[in-house]
A and B are shown apart, each in its own frame.
Chain A
């Protein structure tokens, strides 16, 4: 075909034209009886996606595990009395489903209890980055000018820092690693990403005609930002934050593995993997089970993010 054929077989009239005569998909303006907002439409759509169902079930299980590990195991791994050195590196058995680790502690119970710290880091970092990056991005994108220029240059500096090195620097300030220091380190390194995403989508929304119309009515900056721009610009941030949850959980495991993150005797998957690594050839269980649950958790959040993105994508509706 000659190159004079764009938008190969685009559904009728979905291409935008200057006079927008053909901007409407056929049969649009479907006069349905039920009032439905775009959010509700997206929710209806999301519920029907198998990807959403699978990831939601997985995430629900992990969240319950983090909130109430006692539901999954009667063993308390924080009680050292439960560990019998003589049973160290035992294989799976009726008493120890996943076997035991170097100290003779129950790997299953430790894996279950490890979920809390991982989920805690993931959730708190996500909330922190979404709030900080989102709000700064909203203001920078809306105001523009010197404020935007300064903030954008600052984020560029952050992007230039290698993340492991950055985390090392930040965490070395504190004497000991905890869930909260890890959260802080990750949030400091990750907010520029949410900032940029929010800023870009705010700049797109800011120029929309309905924002111009609201300005023409005399709407205040707050009304423009929070009533008109934010609801129309937040979708990418939601998608990225969902995926970030998984990414931060993986990052926490990585930092703890390197000994920079959460410290013993706290239990996290990263630490468990680090401890089990040296004796992997003697006992694979203590490494494989936390690593497996970590992978499943990260995957579940990434799948959820994918499903949410598809549901929110305005091009498809």
Chain B
């Protein structure tokens, strides 16, 4: 429990740690498995997810619906409904402490305070019967025992910080009186109120228009620069990832199929699925011709194929892919690919 209550910084400055300072990750997810019991059977939503994140970094988790990206985040946050959900295996290390081993009481102390989350749908995340000022202020009243007046003052500060015009005037407005973009700002204000070390943003701009999306992404980047918090950015949008992330983890069928530095992954993907996604983006020079589409349909999580779950759609497929699930092969110090034929994929990218 010391990892949670004791706030000793574990990151040594480079000059103290010698040549290669070993940095303890802010968050490390190890071999996480999550199942859902449904009427149709057991849905294997997450099947062995590993990823790590350092303070100040942005990790983009890219995946389609049903890839397990949001479930993983909910498991980190500890907001999965159990049942129907069940974490069957794995660890979630936050500053070295396994969150899954904590009592609910200790877990609640981490949630909201040290790990915060924002969602796609801000309207349903905000309580419609309280003013936004009250809801933002609640963070200070509940977690820090601030007085009403003090909480209100800091709510205005926060609303200013997330650029809500006329913050003091709008303190007593209700969520429905704000536009989608403004509501997203309010949710961000609440999430960063207690200066969390980790922010999980689950499709934060999917419901927003392009011009508003740009504003929100800019705001998130700015807050991160100032506070140095780590961020997990969950999205299906390759453009958002390319704009904002340091690292990328691509999920498919409840697994990480590739993780890499963003520049590496876009320059030369090492997994056929990543490659297929990048190739399917419409490009100016391919206008009038067919797009490179990934064939087939996403996997059925009730009945995952044996071996690699991408194999039925994969152009690099060989006989063993349908039999043996590939491990996450290490490619260099910062990269991994869960493909038996990652070398071929990587080479093909250059050609």
Contact = CB atoms under 8 A, between A and B. Distances in A.
A81 interface: no
A19 B206 contact: yes
A7 interface: yes
Nearest to A15: B121
Given A9-B74, A9-B85, A17 B303 contact: no
Interface in B77-102: 77, 79-82, 84-85
A27 B120 contact: no
A24 B74 contact: no
Nearest to B143: A2
A26 B84 contact: no
A197 B299 CA distance: 39
Contact of A13 (B70, B84, B112): B70
Listed residue (A2, A8, A18, A28) with the most chain B CB atoms within 10 angstroms of its CB: A2
Contacts of A24: 65-66
Nearest to A20: B65
A94 B116 CA distance: 74
A27 B305 CA distance: 12
Interface string A20-42: 01111111111100000000000
A30 B190 contact: no
Contacts of A23: 65
B79 A4 contact: no
B126 A3 contact: yes
Contacts of B301: 26-27
Interface string A282-317: 000000000000000000000000000000000011
Contacts of A12: 36, 43, 45, 66, 68, 70-71
Contact of B79 (A1, A15, A30): A1
Interface string B279-303: 0000000000000000001111111
A173 interface: no
Contact of B65 (A6, A8, A10, A13): A13
Nearest to B142: A2
Interface of A: 1-13, 15, 17-19, 21-31, 45, 316-317
Interface of B: 36, 38-40, 43, 45, 65-66, 68, 70-71, 74, 77, 79-82, 84-85, 108, 111-112, 116-121, 124-127, 135, 138-139, 187, 190-191, 193, 203, 206-207, 236, 297-303
B302 A2 contact: no
A3 B138 contact: yes
Contacts of A1: 79, 108, 111-112
B66 to A, nearest CB: 4
Nearest to B84: A11
B112 A2 contact: yes
Given A1-B79, A27-B43, 11 more contacts: A2-B116, A6-B124, A9-B82, A12-B43, A15-B121, A22-B70, A23-B65, A24-B66, A26-B301, A27-B299, A29-B297
A20 B206 CA distance: 10
Contacts of B117: 4-5
B187 A4 contact: yes
Give the top 6 A-B pairs by smallest Cβ distance, nearest first. A9-B81, A27-B301, A9-B80, A26-B66, A2-B112, A27-B302
B79 A5 contact: yes
A248 B173 CA distance: 48
A21 to B, nearest CB: 6
B125 A29 contact: no
B39 A22 contact: no
Contact of A18 (B65, B190, B207): B207
A4 B190 contact: yes
Contacts of B203: 17, 21-22
B36 A26 contact: yes
A309 B331 CA distance: 54
A317 B40 CA distance: 8
Nearest to A24: B65
B175 to A, nearest CB: 10
B203 to A, nearest CB: 7
A3 B71 CA distance: 19
A174 B84 CA distance: 57
Contacts of A316: 39
Contacts of B124: 6-7, 15
Contacts of B121: 6, 15, 17
A316 B77 CA distance: 25
A11 B34 CA distance: 11
A128 to B, nearest CB: 35
B202 to A, nearest CB: 10
Nearest to B304: A27
Contacts of B118: 4
Contacts of B125: 3-6
Given A9-B82, A27-B301, A31-B300, A3 B40 contact: no
B233 to A, nearest CB: 16
